[in-house]
Structure 1
Amino acid sequence: MSEHRAHFDFDLSFANGGGLSGTGFRLDLPSADLDEAAIARLLVQHLGLALVDEVALRDLRIVEEPHRGSRGIPRASTDAAPRVVDLSHRIRAGLVTYPGLPAPTIAPHLTREDSRARYAPGTEFAMDVITMIGNTGTYLDSPFHRYAEGRDLAGLELSTLVGLRAEVFHVQDAWTPERRGIRAETLLDRDVRGAAVLLHTGWDRWFGRPEYGKGAPFLTGEGAQRLIEAGAALVGIDSLNIDDTESGGERPAHTLLLAAGVHVVEHLTNLGALPPSGARFTAAPPAVEGFGTFPVRALAEVP
């Protein structure tokens, strides 16, 4: 089902004095056939304003565009079974996830041909060996990745990894090459307590190519602190790193999030297929003792 948004400028006055104006505003719409008065009411609801007297919209356009999570816009109800969206990059031999880290190698331990001598006629198996760093493909960072005393992969509670309420921030137009950091102010409009906060930057389009390794968007330290204070359970991003890898070695987002027990999932993909709210997110690694990071099959269930 297609989604629509309204683009407009506005002037708003309050019954007890004062006013508010905005230019280039964009607002999710529950349908494309709303009149100006209905859109004005949605604007007031989205902004959470009280004692509004008059609202005037200018240059109003309604365009077909994915929703970004405006408040007060109900989601269409459906009785259909949840749709499962794969959010993971495929792992293959030679894949470069992060420049400078080793690529995985895959080799047979027991070929199908050799296995025939070990089993009954008509029965054969393949057993293969993969050698890879934990930071391969789409992976999860546990606190042990950053802190020696932090929980390792085997120590993570499954309840913090499976079926989390997903709050997806579609921020692909909220950063620029000159200002790549996603700031706290961009993350203020949602209740994220207990949720998986997923940052859709659009950078995954370069995954596996040289362009992926330089100029990537990231989460600022202030943004990470905001999510911790708001009670997020997990933070994921479809970019090279949750931190700025061109900052000279500083890693404030990792440092803050993992110290607070907030899991980090990096190198996600396909976040554009998710609604701003309403999906359930899962990213569970194997329970490896003494290990801090490992690939996951990240997925979302969308009602």
Structure 2
Amino acid sequence: MSDYRARFNAEVAFINGGDLRVSDFRLDLPSATVTEAELAELFVRHLGLALVESVDITGFSIIEERHKGSRGTDAVASTTAHVVDLSHTVSAGLVTYPGLPAPVITPHLTREDSRAKYAPGTEFALDVITMIGNTGTYIDSPFHRYEGGTDLSGLELETLVGLRAEVFHLDDVAWGTDAATRGIPASVFFDRDLADSAVLLHTGWDVHFGQPAYAKGSPFLTESGVRHLVDAGVTLVGIDSLNIDDTESGGTRPAHSLLLDAGIHVVEHLTNLGAVPARGARFTAVPPKVADFGTFPVRAFAELPGR
């Protein structure tokens, strides 16, 4: 289903004096049709303006464009929901992060060999997979970064299942080649209440997954962005690029260090975030319950309300 946004200029006058002017503003719409009066109300609600005397809308047009998360403009949801898979498929030879070993899958018991062990017509396959925890779409626990930190077996299910998803669609950003133009700043998050949520960063970098281009020049979360999310009290942060940190600026890892120290889960190498709305979905990413282990692949998915 297509999303629609309004593009317009606006001048707001306040009853206690002063005014506000914006040009070429874009705002999510609940449907493909809206009047100027309805748009004015949506605009005021989105900005949280008070004591408004009048709103003058000019240059108004409706465009087909993905919602970005404007406040107070959500369409009414139906009771029908569906699930979006956000995980890469793990297979033998998969390269997730260059330099790390790829998974090796070997049979322990083949179907052919099992036929001699079971009744006629009954057969099984038992396979062995050897892989590093940082394979495919995976979660980092505090144990990954800190000795004595909570390992996979200690993660509370309440912090992994059905989290309110706040998706930031940044796939239309022209990512540069240096750190200054690849980092996601704190200002991106200023317009939302993120407490107890799963913040999911849709950079669009997942289109390169499994290719050499995935390893170079990927978007990341800046330290200022990390500190804002920690202060906001988020539960989990996920990204669809090579790493939540900048791997090309030395060995510092502020995102991993600060988030995991605060007990905030990190999920890397997500995919298909473009199919998840900015607001309204629920996010789940659960690893196996493994002791003394810091990272492991997850089946990450989003539950979307129907429309």
TM range (shorter): over 0.9
TM-superposed CA distance for 1:54, in Å, is: 3.0
TM-superposed CA distance for 1:175, in Å, is: 5.5
Aligned length: 302
Name 1:107's counterpart in structure 2.
106
The answer on 1:32 being equivalent to 2:21 is: no
TM-superposed CA distance for 1:56, in Å, is: 2.7
> Which stretch has the larger CA shift, 253-262 or 21-30?
21-30
TM-score under structure 1 normalisation? 0.96
TM-score under structure 2 normalisation? 0.95
The one-letter amino acid paired with 2:267 is: V
Q: What's the Cα RMSD here?
A: 1.4
TM-superposed CA distance for 1:11, in Å, is: 2.7
Tell me, what secondary structure is at the counterpart of 2:282? strand
Q: 1:219-260 CA distances to partner (integer Å, 9 max, x unpaired)?
A: 111111111111110000111111111111111111100000
Name 2:123's counterpart in structure 1.
124
Contact 1:175/1:217 (CA < 8 Å) preserved in 2? no
> Which stretch has the larger CA shift, 214-223 or 119-128?
119-128
| Gap runs ≥5 in structure 1 | none
**Take 2:229 and 2:47, find their aligned partners in 1: how far apart are those partners?**
21
Name 2:256's counterpart in structure 1.
254
Within a 5 Å distance, the mapping from 1:126-275 to structure 2 comes to 126-174=125-173, 176-177=175-176, 179-275=181-277
Contact 1:175/1:181 (CA < 8 Å) preserved in 2? no
Contact 1:195/1:234 (CA < 8 Å) preserved in 2? yes
> Which stretch has the larger CA shift, 291-300 or 175-184?
175-184
Q: 1:39-67 CA distances to partner (integer Å, 9 max, x unpaired)?
A: 12211111111122332333222012221
TM-superposed CA distance for 1:142, in Å, is: 0.2
**Take 2:11 and 2:145, find their aligned partners in 1: how far apart are those partners?**
49
| Gap runs ≥5 in structure 2 | none
The one-letter amino acid paired with 1:15 is: I
**Take 2:208 and 2:20, find their aligned partners in 1: how far apart are those partners?**
40
TM-superposed CA distance for 1:118, in Å, is: 1.6
TM-superposed CA distance for 1:128, in Å, is: 0.9
**Take 2:186 and 2:21, find their aligned partners in 1: how far apart are those partners?**
23
Contact 2:31/2:75 (CA < 8 Å) preserved in 1? no
The one-letter amino acid paired with 1:217 is: P
